[in-house]
Amino acid sequence: MKRNLFYLTVICATMLASCGERESVKGISAENLDTSVVPGDDFYRFACGGWMASHPLKPDYARFGTFDELSEKSNGQVKDLIAELSQKQLEQGSLGQTIGDIYTLAMDSARRNAEGARPVLPYLKQLNSLADKSELSAVLAVMSRSGVQSFFSHYVYADEMNSSINIFHIKQGGYRMGDRDYYLEKDERSQALRTKYVEYIEKLFTLSGYTAEEAKKISAAVMKIETQLATVALSREALRDPIANYHKIKLDELKQRVPNLDWDIFFKTIGIKGLEELNAGQLEPLTEVNKIIKEASLQDIKYYLQWNVLNTAASYLSDDFTDADFEYYDKTLSGKEQQEERWKQAVGIVNGCVGEGVGQMYVEKYFPPMAKEKMINLVKNLQTALGERINQLPWMGDETKAKAQEKLATFHVKIGYPDKWRDYSALKIRKEDSYLENIIRSNVFDYEYMISRFNQPVDKDEWLMNPQTVNAYYNPATNEICFPAAILQPPFFDVKAADAVNYGAIGVVIGHEMTHGFDDQGRKYDKDGNLTEWWTENDAQRFQERAQVLADFFDNIVVLDTIHGNGRLTLGENIADQGGLQVSWQAYQNSLKGKTTPEAIDGYTDAQQFFIAYATVWAANIREAEILRRTKMDPHSLGKWRTNGALPQIDAWYEAFGVSQENALYVPKDKRVSIW
């Protein structure tokens, strides 16, 4: 109910526009700087130290940065839109009524506290009544439709070898601690996390009426099954290889590999008809599922399934449940000190349930039509610059360059909001039912929407983010870059700012998204979004050699105490940062052709403004626990190293700030990474 089905790599982005003649322009904000720091020794602190000092970490955040500020603004705008709805007479069953009722249910903690565990107890009781393992297939399907996936995850989306059609995918899953390694590693932190997780399991079951002795028995069963699943699961690094994680098999082979589930019943119950083949992303975990179902006791399996339901439902129950959920997932894993305000939680739920419906209202009020056109023009400018850089690459042959240009030219660009809005009229929210029941009804609505795509052509106009989301993404299966409306506004873009500032901020991150089409994952997809080898063998080898240098560079970074970065996990994002900087710098230089170099503003040259603006995008304060969690799980490097790790690869940065071998961040020219 609250966990994503699959992950798409994302990065914040916003809008750059040509603003014509201005009476005055703004440079970088001097108050964001810490000029006591030498730029070549710690550029992140130099560019962001003032911002960090003036934005102390809030107790409800594990990390708070510049685009978290914008997220807060977007959430406040959505809250205001919902408040406006409450002042209107709304037709029963209308979108406005649906949005308002979900928000009301989410805000009504008094009702949930009075209900306690009652809303979830029927589901636990139903699972406890299972009499035989033969009933599991239908049960797993019903749970999935309700938003609870257990032994494995699954979804319907594009076939990566034939991206024009949607197929069924099964992926590893079934462990809920937060990361596979937390079950396996022997270090002190991992052992402490396992202890806290067991306490969390036992807490939720005792809140649900189980005795302490029963809860201990349940936690032991859950940990045994989840550890089995984690032991055979692929690492996050291994999951980044799309070819190694594609195994298209016939339904008969799935039945042979996992004969202890009745797949005909499973697919019938979830609503899939005519399935003949599917993508089984990771095969060994599926074999382990079969082993668990065969060897584990029925009672232990029932405990495990009950835990999946209870853990997912905790966010929609009384405060003692949500407090326990916060204690483990937010305080223990990330270091947060308190939960975010209830209205923020409620806005998040509304966005999750009827996101495009809210988005339609959002863009009507907050996103002017001209902004979309300006963004489209900017993207074209960045595409031109990337195309120029591809042509100039000394390490890539003409055959591969030609195909790279074809892919670049066919980018599907999405700006602001979808051209066609999703229809929510079939979603029925009933205030007389519990909050949990309505969330389940919303989950079923979304699940059926997903299943309806099966065996249908891929809709390349579908959006995978809501317009009010402060984020962006590149999707290799559709070769698209997407920039939702909420990020296309200040503080990331300012029409009064100097062009160098805007190119350094938004220009780089747009270039970043484009470069994702050519990072270590994206490069394996062709212009149509199919996994295929379109590179010559020599060019692929040269790419890998250069990428390995970047991976090694980030492996050597110490993020906290003795903990190093993970250059392989973050490789795609680091390549995109490096490429985004190069592409946007070239686009900015193109914009100056035939013009006089802009005068310095407040003592900073245009080149200096460009790189300071880039660093400001990543300004943030972060807790030590969150540093450790993100280093373990996040394919993005920490903001500090997206600055101090990326800029030392860029020659123009050295020239702008006079960085020499005497400075701490200096990298010899022959050791700098240059890919795109």
Digit-coded pLDDT (tens) for 647-659:
999 999 999 999 9
Mind listing the pLDDT tens digit for each residue in 203-243? 999 999 999 999 999 999 999 999 999 999 999 999 999 99
Query: pLDDT digit string (tens) for 627-643?
Result: 999 999 999 999 999 99
Percent of the chain topping pLDDT 70 = 96
At 3, the pLDDT band (50, 70, 90 cuts) reads very low
Residue 13 pLDDT > 60: no
Please report the pLDDT score of residue 238 as a whole number.
Answer: 97
CA–CA distances in Å: residue 647 to residues 37, 612, 615, 620: 16, 10, 9, 17
pLDDT of residue 371: 78
List the structure tokens of 249. Answer: 């098999």
Show the CA angle centred on residue 163, arms to residues 160 and 169, nearest 5°.
Answer: 45
Distance CA 629, CA 614 (A): 25
Distance CA 669, CA 232 (A): 42
* Averaged pLDDT of the chain: 94
For 559, the enclosing helix (H) or strand (E) is: strand 558-560
CATH of 30-56+367-411+468-671, one of 3.40.390.10, 3.40.50.11900, 3.50.50.60, 2.170.190.11: 3.40.390.10
* Tens-digit pLDDT profile for residues 259-279: 999 999 999 999 999 999 999
pLDDT in tens, 456-511: 999 999 999 999 999 989 999 999 999 999 988 777 777 788 999 989 998 998 99
Sign of the C-alpha dihedral, residues 638, 640, 644, 649? positive
HSE of 5, CA atoms in CB hemisphere, 13 A: 18
* Radius of gyration (C-alpha) of the chain in whole angstroms: 26
pLDDT value of position 304: 98
CB 32 within 8 A of CB 604: no
Show the DSSP H helices in 319-433 as ranges: 319-326, 333-334, 342-366, 369-392, 398-409
Residue 24 pLDDT grade (very low, low, confident, very high; cuts 50, 70, 90): low
Q: How confident is the model over 592-606, as pLDDT tens digits?
A: 999 999 999 999 999
Domain residue spans of the chain: 30-56+367-411+468-671, 136-316
Q: What average pLDDT does the segment 97-115 reach? A: 97
pLDDT for 29: 93
Residue 289 pLDDT class (50, 70, 90 cuts)? very high
**Residue-wise pLDDT tens digits, 196-213:** 999 999 999 999 999 999
Find, among 28, 15, 14, the residue nearest to 598 by Cα. Answer: 28
At 410-466, the pLDDT tens digits run 999 999 999 999 999 999 999 999 999 999 999 999 999 999 999 999 999 999 999
Q: Are 386 and 676 in contact (CB under 8 A)?
A: yes
Please report which confidence band the pLDDT of residue 20 belongs to, taking 50, 70 and 90 as the band edges: very low
pTM: 0.93
**Confidence category of residue 93, pLDDT binned at 50, 70, 90:** confident
Identify the pLDDT of residue 368.
84
Query: 258: pLDDT confidence band, cut at 50, 70 and 90?
Result: very high
Amino acid letter for position 305 = L
CA-to-CA separations, 111 to 118, 119, 435, in angstroms, rounded: 11, 11, 9
- Alpha helices (H) in 474-605, listed in sequence order: 499-502, 508-516, 537-555, 571-591
71 has pLDDT over 80: yes
CATH superfamily to which 136-316 belongs: Neutral endopeptidase , domain2 (1.10.1380.10)
